[in-house]
Amino acid sequence: MGEKKDVWQGTLALMVLKTLQAMGPLHGYGIARRIEQTSGDLLIVNYGTLYPALLKLEQEGYISSEWGVSDNNRKAKYYKLTRAGRKQLNKEERDWEQTTAILARFLAPGEERS
């Protein structure tokens, strides 16, 4: 059973971790809305795709979940970052910066070509 390693899966996980770091414990709907808002509604996405990603992160031990009550008295499942998740986030942030830096150099107006 190979995992599908497309970019979106990876970035979504990173976004979830980052969101949880910024906002503290949050339910699935909240995470989805937050990602949508932060990306400036550019990433139009089915909220549904978030849940398998959350499950995967939980299975890997980066986040944990717990049933709680929302501001307006709704029962909801709250996700929060674990210590392993925090470490993973740091690592992925560094990796991402490295990747974007390399890509940026590639995509910058070509100097070698001229």
Residue ranges in contact with another protein by CB under 8 A: 1, 27-30, 33, 46-49, 51-52, 55-56, 59-61, 67, 70, 72, 74-77
Half-sphere exposure of 62 (CA within 13 A, CB side): 22
- Closer residue to another protein, CB minimum distance, 15 or 88: 88
Among 68, 77, 82, 86, CA closest to 29: 77
- Closer residue to another protein, CB minimum distance, 18 or 62: 62
CB of 7 to another protein, least distance (A): 18
Among 15, 34, 37, CA closest to 26: 34
Site of tokens 């549904």: 48
CB of 91 to another protein, least distance (A): 12
- Closer residue to another protein, CB minimum distance, 11 or 49: 49
CB of 40 to another protein, least distance (A): 17
CB of 103 to another protein, least distance (A): 26
Q: How far is CA 88 from CA 10, 61, 67, in A?
A: 12, 10, 24
